[in-house]
Amino acid sequence: MQGKKFISPQSWFSLIYPSFWSEFEDREGSFLFYNPEKWTGNFRISAYRKNLKAVDAIRFAEEELEYELKQNKESERVKIGLYHGIYYNQSNKEEGVFYTTHHWLFGEKNTMIECSFTVPQGVGYEEAMPLLESVEIRSENKTYPSELIPIRLAEIYLINEEYENVSQLIKTTLSKDFQGIEEDLDKLQEVIDLEVIGGKKRRDWFAVGVVLCVILTNEVEGFEWKTLIDGNRETPILYYTNSSLEIDPLKVAWSFIEKNNRCDVKDIYKELLGSL
């Protein structure tokens, strides 16, 4: 299936969803995807994992499926990609409209996956099948190559949080507005020089890097945010589509400091522009 790749936080599973779909906010631990231009159904996916050191962890998925089959007389055994699972559906009415939610449960060893596809009553689940069959349960004992995937909501929230923290810090410390454009670099430098931000705090320098990257996206066309999955590290990366350049917010300021024993955001910004 052609589309966009999603790797869950903690890398428990991955899936491919249509390129014209997007991820949207859902409850914690559950991930929601649908077509924002023309709604044809909500696809949700959640994962549950039992610690491998726990008793009978290796049989967790098998036992959960057996339990569901006994408790839910409407469920039936199915094969989903490489995995054994079960399927059932439920109907409900919301604001006068009837909907059907198709449910799938499947898993492997200590990991369970729960998926659902909610559509207007009478509509099938064919559109959800490519997503279901693309699901890969990622092993805890396997090393996967690093990947850049479309930006996830988790990283969007992180970018927004760090940017807003710095913006608010500048506004309260300097009583000056901050718009995230090149002329604001002096204000960013001022709070660094006042030691309001920085020092030995890793998160502070990550936040400075995020702000510099946001300024770049506001001033230069061709940038997009992505999520880097590299072992246990899951972080936003700024990607320049014209040259495949990757800018890591964590390293932007810190690498300059290690080389020059100081932080000069204007010089860092010039270096970034020069690398394009």
Q: Which residues contact 45 (CB under 8 A, 6 or more apart)?
A: 13, 15, 30, 31, 33, 113, 114, 115, 135
Strands 83-94 and 97-108: antiparallel
- Note the pLDDT of residue 241: 94
Q: What is the pLDDT along the chain (276 residues), one digit of tens a residue?
A: 689 999 999 999 999 999 999 999 998 889 999 999 999 999 999 999 999 889 889 999 999 999 999 999 999 999 999 999 999 999 999 888 899 999 999 999 999 999 999 999 999 999 999 999 999 999 998 999 999 999 999 999 999 999 999 999 999 999 999 999 999 999 999 999 999 998 878 899 999 999 999 999 999 999 999 999 999 999 999 999 999 999 999 999 999 998 998 999 999 999 999 999
Task: Say which CATH number the domain at 220 has.
Answer: 1.20.120.1090
Strand partners, 208: none
74 and 88 Cβ atoms separated by less than 8 Å = yes
Amino acid identity at 150:
P
Quote the domain boundaries for residue 188. Answer: 150-274
172 and 55, same structural domain? Answer: no
Q: Which residues contact 97 (CB under 8 A, 6 or more apart)?
A: 120
- Note the pLDDT of residue 96: 87
- Note the pLDDT of residue 1: 65
Which of 99, 122, 143 lies at the terminal end of a domain, its last residue?
143
SS3 state at 128 = helix
Of how many residues is the chain composed? 276
Contacts 24+ apart (CB under 8 A), 272-276: 272/212, 272/216, 272/247, 273/216, 273/220, 275/245, 276/220, 276/240, 276/242, 276/243, 276/245
52 and 69 Cβ atoms separated by less than 8 Å = no
114 and 62, same structural domain? Answer: yes
Phi, psi (degrees; rounded to nearest 5) at 177: -75, 155
Q: Which residues contact 129 (CB under 8 A, 6 or more apart)?
A: none
154 and 136, same structural domain? Answer: no
218 and 184, same structural domain? Answer: yes
182 and 109, same structural domain? Answer: no
238 and 134, same structural domain? Answer: no
Which of 82, 109, 143 lies at the terminal end of a domain, its last residue?
143
Q: What angle do CA 191, 194, 195 make, to 5 degrees?
A: 90
SS3 state at 177 = coil
122 and 38, same structural domain? Answer: yes
**Cα separation values, 80 from 84, 86, 106, 119, 131, Å:** 6, 9, 7, 20, 10
pTM for the model: 0.92
134 and 168, same structural domain? Answer: no
171 and 227, same structural domain? Answer: yes
130 and 253, same structural domain? Answer: no
The count of domains in the chain is 2
Task: Say which CATH number the domain at 23 has.
Answer: 3.40.1000.10
| Alpha helices (runs of H) in the chain, residue ranges in sequence order | 60-71, 129-134, 153-174, 185-193, 202-219, 249-260, 265-274
170 and 127, same structural domain? Answer: no
**Cα separation values, 190 from 126, 197, 200, Å:** 57, 10, 17
242 and 185, same structural domain? Answer: yes
Which of 143, 166, 192 lies at the terminal end of a domain, its last residue?
143
Structure tokens at 255: 């690498």
